[in-house]
Every structure is written in C-alpha cells, then in structure tokens.
Amino acid sequence: EDDNNRDYTPVRWVRVNTIKSTVDAVLTKDPFFKKLTKVDAFEKVIDTPGTIFHDPYIPNLYGLHPKDKVTSTDAYKQGKIIIQDRASCFPAHILHPSPGDHIIDACAAPGNKTTHAASYVKNQKHSIVAFERNSARSQILRKMVARAGASKCISVKNQDFTTASPKEFNDVVGFIVDPSCSGSGIFGRSKDDKLNKNQPEKKTSEKTTTNEEEDIVEENDDDDEEEEEEEEEPISGKDKERLAKLSSFQFTIVKHALSFPSAKKLVYSTCSIHAEENEQVVIDLLNDGQIKNAGWRLCTRDQVIPDWPRRGWSDEFVKARFGEQESKALAEGCIRSLPKVDGGIGFFAAAFERD
Ligand code: SAM
C-alpha cells in the first residue's frame, strides 16, 4: 500500500513496431537508443534517466525513463515505436494470432492492442476487424492504425460490437475484448485531464470534439503521448451499483463474442483493480449455461504468460462464488498487474478457449 502511494515515476514502456521496423534497427541505429545504458530491472530505469530495460515477458518491449525524450526521436515520429504500457501489451501477446488468422478487436480505440495484434499476424491484409462505438474515438483509432502502418490489415468499424452479426464474421477465430471499465488501475492522469479527454459518449452522427487527436500529433509534448486507454472515471470502492452495471456490460460484450461460430480463443482484459470487473466477470461467464454448452473453458496458466508471477485473486470474494478448488485454478489462469508496483497501470487479463 505504502509503495503504491509514494510519489511515483512511472516507467515509459515502448514497443518496437515490427510492422515498420526491427529491434535491431531501432536499438543500434537510432541515435537516441544507441546512447542508452542497459539495465536488468525496470526499477533501475525509474532511478536513472538514460537507461533502458528489455522486458522479459513481452517480445520487443522496452522500459525507459519518462524524462528521456523518446517522443522527439524519428523512430517515434515514424511509428516505428509505440508507447504502450507493459500490461496493455498482455492481451495481444496472450491471443498470439498467427498470419492467416482472422480476428476481432471488439472495443478497439485508441488501438494499442489492435496494432499490437497486427504485428502477430504479420500485418497480412484484412486480418483484423476493429470495432469502436464512439465516433470520435474511432477517428483516433484510424489514425493510430495508419501511423502503425497497419491500415490494410485492420478494418475499423464505428459500430457497437454487440450489434455485429456472428454469421457475418464466420471466419473469425480470435477476439480481444477490452471493454470500458472503471479505469481504477490507471494513475497519473489528473481528474481534470481525464474529464477533458473523455468526452461523454456521442451518437455516431453527432459532432464531437476531443483533444486526444492532438496527443497523437504533438509528438514533442512529453506528458501525454500515450493514448488514453479508458473513457470512465475511477470508481470509489463504495460505488457498488456502478460496478455492477459495468460488470454486467462487460459480461454481455464478452458473451456476444463467445457466440461467434468459428471463435476458438478470446482474451478479456480491463484496466480495473476491482474483482467485480475481473474475476467476477470470468466466473459469471464460466457459469453461464450457453457458454459452457458451447465448449468454452478458461485457458490455464501455461497459456497465459506463465512466468508472470502476479495471478488473479482467489480470496474470499472469489471462493464464495466459485468454490475452493475452482478458485485456485481460476486465479492461476488469470493475470493481474498492480498499479505502480508492477511498473505501470493496474490491469487484468484472462483467456477463454475451445477446441
Ligand atoms: N483496447 C484499447 C487499446 O488498447 O487501445 C482500449 C479500449 S477502451 C478500454 C474501451 C473502448 O471500447 C472505448 O473506446 C469505448 O468507446 C469502446 N466501447 C465500449 N463499448 C463498446 C461497444 N459496445 N462496442 C464497441 N466499442 C465499445
């Protein structure tokens, strides 16, 4: 707790965008990267500007000190590197689609996970459909996709994913479902910043303004170049009603994805620390009769970044709903990242699969 509340310098996580470049080209040729000193723990990056940490969990991911002006580099300006929190890289890595696979990102804007997934399918044409129901955010998504060099691979649809017809996408095998959540795992953005950035949901036809676009083009603005993950305000622990609503929405959207005829694997994630939006949603899905009958099960630890030590919760909350033994298995299959102590935002991910 104390650790979590101290004045904190976050790591700036940077993913080499293998659609546009290679690790070798970025690290050995870019003048900014060439000067950095390698360290063997992300905590050392936090202590010392001018250092770089190679993440052992996600390929092509590096940690930098936020004072090092990576946003001024050509590599950043040309979309060869993408600033993306480490935990936010988990879903595409867990899904691990192969070239030739067709996948859907159900809640895609601003598109960090979508473009990451595009790198796994080797940017093959028409591999990914990215849904985003908010029109302003779908514009941001299109820009991020273009910047990553993935416009041919990713088709953006400004549409509510729950209205997508499973029959129309009968070749889709994989899903990333990263729906709106309380955002309780996010830190370091002031309330005012969040309120300014997150415009209320608008109908597609309405004109809307947002300053997120500026975040993309103002590459020298050192504070805000990472795109906003969430659209909701953090929640107080007491706000059970709102949590229940979010949890029910999250359940509905994942259940819809699990109904697609060729779906074989789905990764569910949130940037919430609340069990109601995380383990609870997973439990509700696993207990749902239709989902069970369709053959879905939770992926086991060996399929979900096995070396990542912080797994899901199996505390009283979970046990009371799922039983002792099942709770342990469930926790092992899930991943959590704690805000700050794990070097980034609070995050949750779990995966479902069927034969
Ligand atoms: N996955 C994104 C990334 O990594 O860059 C972040 C996604 S953010 C947590 C959730 C997004 O889902 C928001 O942009 C929100 O507008 C969108 N959304 C919420 N409900 C949706 C729905 N029913 N259909 C499509 N998009 C939805």
pLDDT of residue 196: 29
Catalytic-labelled residue, pool 153, 271, 299, 334: 271
Residue 79 zone, left/alpha/beta (φ > 0; ψ -120 to 50; rest): left
226 to 82, 108, 180, 329: CA distances (angstroms): 8, 15, 17, 34
* Residue 97 CB less than 6 A away from ligand 1: no
Q: Model-level pTM greater than 0.90? A: no
| Residue 132 annotated in ligand binding | yes
Which amino acid is located at 220 in the chain?
N
Which has the closest alpha carbon to 178: 269, 90, 250, 109? Answer: 269
Which mutation among 161, 180, 247 tests ligand 1's pocket best, with the greatest number of atoms within 8 A of CB?
Answer: 180
pLDDT of residue 233: 55
| Residue 153 annotated in ligand binding | no
Sheet-wide strand order for 37-39: 37-39, 51-54, 61-64, 12-16, 81-83
SS3 of residue 311 by DSSP: strand
Which amino acid is located at 280 in the chain?
Q
SS3 of residue 323 by DSSP: coil
* Residue 162 CB less than 6 A away from ligand 1: yes
State how far the Cα of 327 lies from the Cα of 307, in Å rounded to an integer. Answer: 20
State how far the Cα of 271 lies from the Cα of 347, in Å rounded to an integer. Answer: 4
pLDDT of residue 240: 87
pLDDT of residue 208: 27
- Atom 18 of ligand 1, nearest CA residue: 107
What does the angle CA 315 – CA 282 – CA 286 come to, to the nearest 5 degrees? 110
Which mutation among 128, 132, 251 tests ligand 1's pocket best, with the greatest number of atoms within 8 A of CB?
Answer: 132
Task: Tell the burial category of 209 from Cβ atoms under 10 Å away from its Cβ (0-12, 13-18, 19+).
Answer: exposed
| Residue 160 annotated in ligand binding | yes
Decide if 153 is catalytic: no
| CB neighbour burial string for 181-201, b if at least 16 within 10 angstroms, e if fewer | bbbbbbbebeeeebeebbbee
pLDDT of residue 316: 74
- 223 CB contacts (<8 Å, ≥6 apart)? none
- Atom 6 of ligand 1, nearest CA residue: 229
Written as tens digits, the pLDDT of the chain (355 aa) is 444 445 677 899 999 999 999 999 999 999 999 999 999 999 999 999 999 999 999 999 999 999 999 999 999 999 999 999 999 999 999 999 999 999 999 999 999 999 999 999 999 999 999 999 999 999 999 999 999 999 999 999 999 999 999 999 999 999 999 999 999 999 865 433 332 233 323 333 322 222 232 233 222 233 334 555 544 555 555 688 999 999 999 999 999 999 999 999 999 999 999 999 999 999 999 999 999 999 999 999 999 999 999 999 987 777 777 777 788 889 999 999 999 899 999 999 999 999 9
Which has the closest alpha carbon to 107: 207, 209, 256? Answer: 256
208 to 102, 149, 179, 183, 326: CA distances (angstroms): 32, 26, 21, 22, 46
